[in-house]
Structure 1
Amino acid sequence: METPAESVHSPTKWIESTGGPFVIVPAPHAAVWQGIEGDDYDEACLVEDYVGRVEFGPAAQKVPGIVVADEPLPATFLPDLQCLLQWSYAPSEQALIDGARRSFDGIDNWHQGPVLDVHDPLIMFDATIPGNSLEQAETLSVSLPTGSYQFHTADFEIGDDVAGRLHAIRPLDPYRS
């Protein structure tokens, strides 16, 4: 069975955590994330849902971010679905990605998560890592146009071979009241 770490020739970038949650933050503010060298990681670990909101940085200039909590599953971003995909199990990366794409539109039990206003490019990384020491290989770009987005989470399974978790990032209607 192929895992993300073994997929060295894969065009899809995967990241993994050391066992804790991931965090998604505006790239220009990533260096402010303290990880385990401050309170940010502890705050991220307090998120009990699939996805939660966290604020970090100096008290006068708090920056919002998103914590992808629960299981520390390898993750990638699928721009065509505008969602994060986490690998539970699959015989190959391609089987998992194909399964996610086939399952996406048929999922009707999405769990609603937090809202994030996006003004800058976003990156995702292991919440333990202080942002000022991040290396490119440890980050995943989450490309979204400027706007307000709500996170929605659902698990999917295809037979006994493929399972994953999707975190859809859906734009909010600017005219919604």
Structure 2
Amino acid sequence: MTSTPGDLDTWGDYGRACQIDGYAGALDAGDDQARVLADEPASTTYLPDQRLFVRWIYADSEADVIRLIPKAVETADWEDVGTWTTSGPAELFDSTLAGDEMEDEHRVAVDVAPGTYLLRTAHVEPEEGTALVLVQLVAQTLAA
């Protein structure tokens, strides 16, 4: 897509999300912030025990992605990309879906406590033929 920031400004929240540089960021959304997983479309899941988003860039199979997550986390060269402040649990969804298309199978629960989280990202190739983008939430301050 070739467009200028001015063009994206007329696209509302989607346009603002498209202006995120890198793999992740946050946008003000009312009294809260929306967390944006940017860069390119990719199948994504959330692992609540690690507060980790795993984005499948390429791999032979889902089984390979799952098998390689521990190695990917261990070898990741993390980059801090900002913070995300949230009032609590959120949902991950594809911004290309209209609100009336948001059925349960198009959403992933993101169970997090209210607070501020450091966003850190890494592009990892844990084996030849496999690439993942990891986005981890690291607790900074949690609301009482």
- TM-score between both structures, scaled by the size of structure 1: 0.67
Residue type of the alignment partner of 1:53? A
Name 1:106's counterpart in structure 2: 75
Name 2:22's counterpart in structure 1: 49
Higher relative contact order (Cα pairs below 8 Å, separated by 6+ residues): 1
Gaps of 5+ in 2: 2-10
Structure 1 residues 150, 131: closer, same or farther in 2, change over 3 A? Answer: farther
RMSD: 2.1
1:71 to 17, 40, 48: 40
Name 1:27's counterpart in structure 2: none
Structure 2: distance between partners of 1:91 and 1:133: 29
Larger fraction in strand: 2
- TM-score between both structures, scaled by the size of structure 2: 0.80
Give the superposition deviation at 1:39: 0.9
Name 2:91's counterpart in structure 1: 123
Structure 2: distance between partners of 1:53 and 1:117: 8
Correspondence list, 1:146-157, <5 A: 146-157=114-125
Contact 2:71 2:126 in 1 (8 A): no
Identity rate, percent: 27
Structure 1 residues 159, 116: closer, same or farther in 2, change over 3 A? Answer: closer
Q: How many residues get paired?
A: 133
Contact 1:148 1:172 in 2 (8 A): yes
